[in-house]
Amino acid sequence: MRVPFLWLKDYVDIDLSAEELAAKLFSCGFEVEELIYLGAEMDRIVTARIVKLEKHPDADKLQICQMDCGRYGACQIVTGATNVFEGAVVPACLDKSTLPGGRKITAGKLRGVLSEGMLCSGEELKITDADIPGASVDGILILDPKTPLGVEMREILGLDEYVFDIGVTANRPDCQSVYGIAREVAAVLGKPLKEPALDFAEGETPIEKLVKVRVEAEDLCPRYLAGGVTDIRIAPSPAWMQKRLKLCGLRAINNIVDITNFVLLELGQPMHAFDERELTDRQIVVRRAKEGEHIVTLDGKDSQLNENMLVICDAKKPVALAGIMGGLESGIKPDTAAVVFESARFKRDSIRKTSKALGIRSDSSARYEKGVDSFSPEFGLKRALHLICELGCGKVAKGIEDRSALRPEVRTLKANKADIDALLGLEIPLKDTLRILNGLQIETSEKGGVLTCRIPPWREDLEDYPDIAEEMIRMYGYDHLHSTLLAKAQVAPGGRTQEQKNMDRLKEDLRYQGLHEIVSYAFISKEEIGKINLGGEEKFSRTVELLNPLSEDIAVMRTTMLCGLLEAASVNLSRKVEAGRLFETGRIFLPKESAEELPEEKERLGILLFGEGESFFTLKGILENLFADFGLTFECRAGGEAYFHPHKKAEIFCKGLVMGSFGELHPDVTDAFDLKKKLWYAEIDLEALNERAFPKFVYKNLPKFPAIERDLALVADEEVSCKAITDLIRKQGGGMLEEVTLFDLYQGDRIEKGKKSMAFRLSFRAEDRTLKVEEADQIIQGILAQLTKKLNVTLRA
């Protein structure tokens, strides 16, 4: 919100610089987002008189001016302009001056003659006749001959001004105006706040002759006031008013419209002026629109209305969208002779919804959306009527139409000073407490440790003692607050649960194994899910869908971690990062029957590998290490999602449960993501992992007797699995067989087609004695016999 410094000075005697005031405002909760100095771009451009004019000796089109620059002394300037004359007062750019837009002017020679600056035009100053007469002329700006000399042009143009652009928090709608900020300034500086002039002389015409008001929708319009003005002379408003409007970024229109805008800026009360002639039967009815009604607003837009929208009507039809914009017909025209001023409180969400639904916004609707209190309509109307008198633009009608279901009230709030001190952890002295609160126009007295506060009607945000505490501390200063460390709180152990520690361990484990953690969006596109859902499974395609997604790319919640990891792989590969080991932990979202129920959120781990050296078995190795880090081992079972290669995938079976799956991605998936590479993926259910992590175990005695090791080189049919062979060896090996490990695998030319060679190391040990070689050999004979019989596996010749 733009607040001009000079306007604040109308209400508070401020002896600080703009910067100092900005710092004060910041400290009490009003951040000055920008301190604008309007004259910043116009420096050392001063008013000067052309004392003498001569022809340039070497250039027909140039003239040499001897200038009187007032307190800047005399100088010589060469100009090419033709509209200059001796005695003219003009803006002169002195040596080292700056023009709007940043252009610098320095002294120099023009065709051999010294020119100590430049005479400038309105265009060069970026101004027009609207700013100062003569500025739109093609040539040098000729000023009023009575203009004093040696004055900076930014002062002449009213640009020697500071404007604060202030961020006002949503709880302080009362500060959405110059006067609202002035209240805070007065409080923070400890200075008196001046009242705005509200007095006006009433004429003879009674208000009833101009308008009768009826409010039918009191729930949406708790307060409606109407005042009248007759004998109006539409004219431009005075310069001081226009200047203030302009400083706030508004354009001056005419005296009546300017007054309504002025009151909005100054007091924060939106006003509307109706041409009295256009109000059928001189009636104003505030009601909900009827289905099928429509209105053409001042912006020329024709809007269809409905029963949720509040409208201001005359006896027949809507004449304004309440709080948003007036109708085209009832607006102020050059020949308007009498007006009805509206000053009301409308419910903020009603205005917001209508404004949003119709796509019509105005300064008024923006203000109403923030909330207007019950005090403000009368305050604003009286100020407007005063300005009518001050500007002499008409006669004020006798009386005010006041239809108010809700009148402003001064509430009394009692607060224990001790509660406030305990909440803040700081005892603000009573003297300061009373000074601060009374300074904020919260009349406060103290008796027996209880503060009795009379809350002014515009402070609807103050409801309870913490609100009073906040008023006190923000004015007293947060720098008085000395930190304590839970001084009076109970001791609590705190810390991570085992499950939370497990998740940190999981990430650390994967990091040690060379994986990089990624973070991707939890929402993805339906299209992406289609790309991975080769099996057309519901568990992927039934998603939680956003009603208002920013784009189709992020429109549904993920049902797998795969898409985010593939996106990451795609980004890296497109940037020539050819290898990667990536992982992500996060939630997938599985919808319930009804969208009104919260979906199931399941914690998952996704791992994606790509690049040279990676294979199904590097991924399996990572998973085995990871599980081992939680005291677990797993078995690979047939199964796994359709997004895997049909023959290079497995389900991870651990402690009686499938905890996830892994494998090489199906080429259809990698093609769909345009990756042209083999990728390996695993997805693990982290809740299942967490539940089974760290099974209880007891220490096993170290062996006392030596082991006997034997290597077996076996030949098996290709389709016989390693697991089938080891299982059979174990079963046949019995209690003496301590360990079986595959240590070599060969498939190729040196062996019969359809066969593979596998070398196992077997370790035998007895717990209670030294095992005899003969015993071990006997067991091996039994194993070999079974392998041959059951699996057609033989010793390699």
Residue nearer to other proteins on the CB measure, 486 or 698: 486
Selected from 146, 482, 647, 696, the binder of other proteins by CB under 8 A is 482
Residues in region 527-566 near other proteins by CB under 8 A: 544-550, 554, 557
What's the N-to-C CA distance of the chain in angstroms? Answer: 93
What is the smallest separation between the CB atom of 552 and other proteins, expressed in angstroms?
A: 13
37 binds other proteins (CB under 8 A): no
- Mark the segment that binds other proteins (CB under 8 A) among 5-13, 123-131, 501-509, 752-760: 501-509
Check if the beta carbon of residue 225 is closer than 8 Å to that of residue 376: no
398 binds other proteins (CB under 8 A): no
What is the smallest separation between the CB atom of 710 and other proteins, expressed in angstroms?
A: 32
Q: 697 Cβ partners below 8 Å, 6+ apart? A: 631
Selected from 24, 209, 348, 677, the binder of other proteins by CB under 8 A is 348
Check if the beta carbon of residue 559 is closer than 8 Å to that of residue 539: yes
What is the smallest separation between the CB atom of 527 and other proteins, expressed in angstroms?
A: 18
Alpha helices in 533-674 (DSSP H): 538-541, 562-574, 616-628, 667-672
Selected from 270, 327, 371, 640, the binder of other proteins by CB under 8 A is 371
Selected from 580, 606, 663, 733, the binder of other proteins by CB under 8 A is 580
Residues in region 412-471 near other proteins by CB under 8 A: 422-426, 464, 466-467, 469-470
What is the smallest separation between the CB atom of 358 and other proteins, expressed in angstroms?
A: 17
201 binds other proteins (CB under 8 A): no
Q: 157 Cβ partners below 8 Å, 6+ apart? A: 42, 125, 127, 131, 132
Q: In this structure, which amino acid lies at residue 32?
A: V
Selected from 2, 24, 27, 306, the binder of other proteins by CB under 8 A is 27
Residue nearer to other proteins on the CB measure, 300 or 493: 493
Check if the beta carbon of residue 496 is closer than 8 Å to that of residue 504: yes
359 binds other proteins (CB under 8 A): no
Selected from 299, 414, 512, 537, the binder of other proteins by CB under 8 A is 512
288 binds other proteins (CB under 8 A): no
Residue nearer to other proteins on the CB measure, 358 or 385: 358
Selected from 49, 154, 370, 604, the binder of other proteins by CB under 8 A is 370
Residues in region 144-183 near other proteins by CB under 8 A: 169-172
Query: Where do we find the tokens 């970026």?
Result: 126
Selected from 240, 483, 676, 749, the binder of other proteins by CB under 8 A is 483
Instruction: Say which DSSP state 545 is in.
Output: B
Residue nearer to other proteins on the CB measure, 85 or 521: 521
- Mark the segment that binds other proteins (CB under 8 A) among 291-299, 403-411, 593-601, 767-775: 593-601
- Mark the segment that binds other proteins (CB under 8 A) among 151-159, 303-311, 319-327, 567-575: 567-575
797 binds other proteins (CB under 8 A): no
Query: Cα 582 to chain center, whole Å?
Result: 31
Q: Which residues pair with 327 in a beta bridge?
A: 297
Q: 604 Cβ partners below 8 Å, 6+ apart? A: 560, 561, 585, 586, 587, 588, 683, 684, 685, 686
Residues in region 679-708 near other proteins by CB under 8 A: none
**Of 481, 491, 413, which Cα lies nearest the Cα of 445?**
413
Residues in region 595-614 near other proteins by CB under 8 A: 595-599, 601
Give the DSSP letter string of 417-482: HHHHHHHHTS---HHHHHHHHHHTT-EEEEETTEEEEEE-TT-TT--SHHHHHHHHHHHH-GGGPP
Check if the beta carbon of residue 542 is closer than 8 Å to that of residue 559: yes
Distance CA 672, CA 681 (A): 16
